[in-house]
Chains A and B, each alone.
Chain A
Amino acid sequence: DSGVTQTPKHLITATGQRVTLRCSPRSGDLSVYWYQQSLDQGLQFLIQYYNGEERAKGNILERFSAQQFPDLHSELNLSSLELGDSALYFCASSTRQNRGYTFGSGTRLTVV
């Protein structure tokens, strides 16, 4: 157990639907990062939050949004889903004290 918890582990949904992925960071970590891993795009940075505030944005589609709550957990919302959104979505948290980033085990999203 890495200390970063992602739920659900697997998700199958239809095109056009909306889903929410949840991430709980390691205890004490203030930063949360979201990554998308697809076969053709590799590991792409989506967005970073630090203590509730958006800190950096990557290649995140307008159909996707995220937030970090006061208890520091984060949610990634994906809407109007397309087949191409099928991917493994990772969440990570960071603190200086450890080896940098701790990744969750990922949520595998399949859009059918």
Chain B
Amino acid sequence: AQKVTQAQTEISVVEKEDVTLDCVYETRDTTYYLFWYKQPPSGELVFLIRRNSFDEQNEISGRYSWNFQKSTSSFNFTITASQVVDSAVYFCALSEGLYAGGTSYGKLTFGQGTILTVHP
């Protein structure tokens, strides 16, 4: 069975601080996908990144960066110079590999989420 653990329930920082959100996953699949989603107070789920199990390159997108380490089954997310608008719940999620000739993903398993509050 797949499992995603986000050990940090809540994090509170002051604006401009860097913050890292931890994510550890468990799966027996050799091919899988990892995701991060943001859920602002308005409630929608906003896609941030997708990473497949064969790509361990770190990725940077503006103030966001992701560190994928297969050896420790971790996919951590760092926000540099945090801003008040970053306040949200952040979810890490794990998907089974593609099926149906590569046209669809299996189910997505979410972690419990980390509530990030950035104070001015």
Contacts and interface: CB of A to CB of B under 8 A. Distances in A.
Interface string A48-77: 101100011010000000000000000000
Given A33-B108, A50-B104, A94-B105, A43 B113 contact: yes
21 contacts: A31-B104, A31-B105, A33-B107, A42-B110, A45-B107, A45-B110, A50-B104, A56-B106, A88-B43, A95-B103, A96-B98, A96-B102, A99-B47, A100-B33, A100-B95, A100-B108, A103-B37, A103-B45, A105-B43, A105-B44, A106-B44
Interface string A1-42: 010000000000000000000000000011101010000001
Q: From DSSP, what is the main secondary structure of chain B's interface residues?
A: strand
Contacts of B43: 88, 105-106, 108
Contacts of B33: 100
Interface in B71-120: 91, 95, 98, 100, 102-113
A45 B95 CA distance: 11
Contacts of B100: 30, 50-51
Given A42-B113, A50-B100, A105-B44, A96 B108 contact: no
Interface residues of A, number: 29
Given A42-B112, A100-B50, A58 B107 contact: yes
B64 interface: no
Q: From DSSP, what is the main secondary structure of chain A's interface residues?
A: strand
A70 B84 CA distance: 45
A8 to B, nearest CB: 14
Contacts of B37: 103
A100 B113 contact: no
B44 A100 contact: no
Given A100-B33, A103-B44, A106-B43, A30 B103 contact: yes
Given A42-B113, A48-B107, A92-B108, A100 B35 contact: yes
A106 B113 CA distance: 17
